[in-house]
Structure 1
């Protein structure tokens, strides 16, 4: 009975824990390429990530199969519906973790195979859910601006992560499939980025003309960092792939120039990310100390982790390209921030589970 209730009440927001843990694993994997000491921590978080993935997968699919009426109810809830892609996004991020974990536990060939399967499954779910969610939001007759939070940006984040991580897989497929995959990644980036801009306009309108969301939704403010970090990652990955395959040589005389333009654009996007990071800190402090509101623990706390991790990973990536000391400082700051939020959120989540408290 307890298990049945747990499955029935399993919130789509749980997928955010897989996203946040996955981004921490990705960052440790990136750092371990330059710092051997980080290999141990990367291995530990690889195991944690796999365990979180297995548990959430069981509950996620079981709820779709056993309690579909509850799924339909959540799909019609404008505050919850956009969190459905968090699980497949977490699956896509896990694919990247395996790509960064060659030989940690299993062979390189097996790691690549698992990464391909995870990316394909996650990408299909992300694309399908994007169409379902946006169609529902267009058809829904009772959505108003008060329902809008940065959680509405999660589907777009999914498309951007499909592109960013898919680019890593392009060279690992046969040439023809790799070219198709490259175009798919480009299309996913275009769809994700421009839909993000459209919905972000709605959200800015909501924040300007309405009160801030309820204090429990304060962590969602940080989600605004997510699509920016994912866009920087995706556009630089596309730039890298462009120089490695011949598919665009018929259109551009020198694809290296196009790749450099992409890198220039990513710096402009990074400026937007820095602005949103500072704004998120200001608004969070305003809610907690000026409005003197207490931030109760909810699953939404996981909204702190992925966006910070995404922007941190983008910072590390840009530092490898431009080798600028400011990126070093910002990467360290955001990594510490990520560890802090991941730790307190994990402790609260585990504590609530052990005490059998309902988590929303």
Structure 2
């Protein structure tokens, strides 16, 4: 998700330079390669132990990340529009239209049945609520921006259903995210913050507001070109212009909520940074904040503000640096056996069904690492 988000972010920079598109294409190709590699790896895991897939989809921690698979597909479609359509014929435009509606149908089934499993069979305490509980519906949160970017090349007869569908799907994702926001903030008020190494996962809360803000602004800007002149039977006003005048302010209104979650997460991480070790939650530094930047790019473009555009360029540079840092830590973690090693995965306590306090978990991790190094 993070690599795909970087590809989409770089592809719509307001301040460009020679070679920027090439950098974006490199990220996009890398995203596809990583997606195929990870699908192959997890497919091999389930092929070796077919019962693992059922445990995975019911696991109180791992199951939520099934939504990440679908978000990754949406970002590939997004990148295909940005980098593929300009170099291909109209066949790709039609293919993306078909993929959009097929994708929407698939993720609707995921959102219904996965939450059914969670609500019916799993009892998750509110004191353990994390933003990752939003993940089953996260694909809908990126469907709005996907619809907006597809509008640039779709013919009018296809563009109108897509813009309406994107608005509808985004509404579902945003409203469920609001419900989960309430549970998450309740946890922050009544319980402790997540342990230091999992605090980057708090950035997941940035995504719903950020991508919803981007959706309203982008769809609003596209509305005058997509909506028919007398849409909804209106004759006294130009409906597309009204949608634009409403969509942009709503996007600006929502964007600051995303920034607040980002600032809250940043302060929390900085206060305990010295106690952190790498977990896969660190990738949350990238994907949600890429959405925050994309939304601000949309706002800066709508307002034609050079100052906002300059800020988004600086934010993009920071995210590129963070991507390389997290990627390095990820590779190092796998090489050292901190990830994908028996007894070392960050969700070990969930698998064993035994809770550990922060100190005992850290002591256990150090002891296991020393034993592993001794065997090596």
Using structure 2 for the length normalisation, give the TM-score. 0.80
* CA offset digits 1:121-157 (Å, max 9, x no partner): 5434432221122212221352101331111222333
CA-CA distance at 1:179 after TM superposition: 3.7
Aligned residue number for residue 342 of structure 1: 323
1:202-241 alignment runs, 5 A limit: 202-241=183-222
CA distance in 1, matches of 2:279, 2:103: 25
Please state if 1:188 is matched with 2:169. Answer: yes
Aligned residue number for residue 71 of structure 1: 53
- Secondary structure in structure 2 of the residue aligned to 1:30: coil
Aligned residue number for residue 167 of structure 1: 148
Q: Which one of 317, 328, 335 corresponds to residue 309 of structure 2?
A: 328
Aligned residue number for residue 10 of structure 1: none
Gaps of 5+ in 1: 1-18
CA distance in 1, matches of 2:223, 2:85: 28
Structure 1 residues 335 and 246: CA distance shift in structure 2, 3 A: closer
Determine if contact 1:153/1:199 at 8 Å carries over to the other structure: yes
Q: Which one of 232, 246, 263 corresponds to residue 278 of structure 1?
A: 263
Deviates more, 1:61-70 or 1:274-283: 61-70
1:109-258 alignment runs, 5 A limit: 109=90, 112=93, 115-116=96-97, 119-120=100-101, 122-170=103-151, 172=153, 177-246=158-227, 249-252=231-234, 253-255=237-239, 256-258=241-243
* CA offset digits 1:57-114 (Å, max 9, x no partner): 323455566644222212222322221111111111111112111478x535465466
1:93-112 alignment runs, 5 A limit: 93-102=75-84, 107-109=88-90, 112=93
CA distance in 2, matches of 1:114, 1:166: 14
Deviates more, 1:41-50 or 1:345-354: 345-354
- Secondary structure in structure 1 of the residue aligned to 2:52: helix
Deviates more, 1:302-311 or 1:350-359: 350-359
Equivalences, count: 337
CA distance in 2, matches of 1:332, 1:180: 33
- Secondary structure in structure 2 of the residue aligned to 1:100: helix
CA-CA distance at 1:44 after TM superposition: 1.9
Please state if 1:20 is matched with 2:5. Answer: no
Deviates more, 1:239-248 or 1:338-347: 239-248
CA distance in 2, matches of 1:325, 1:170: 25
- Secondary structure in structure 1 of the residue aligned to 2:60: coil
- Secondary structure in structure 2 of the residue aligned to 1:250: helix
CA distance in 2, matches of 1:182, 1:246: 9
Please state if 1:266 is matched with 2:248. Answer: no
CA distance in 1, matches of 2:158, 2:243: 23
Deviates more, 1:277-286 or 1:141-150: 141-150
Aligned residue number for residue 87 of structure 1: 69
Aligned residue number for residue 4 of structure 1: none
CA distance in 1, matches of 2:252, 2:38: 36
Gaps of 5+ in 2: 346-376
Structure 1 residues 171 and 322: CA distance shift in structure 2, 3 A: closer
Determine if contact 1:308/1:337 at 8 Å carries over to the other structure: no
Deviates more, 1:30-39 or 1:75-84: 30-39
1:34-73 alignment runs, 5 A limit: 34-61=16-43, 67-73=49-55
Determine if contact 1:312/1:334 at 8 Å carries over to the other structure: yes
Please state if 1:306 is matched with 2:287. Answer: yes
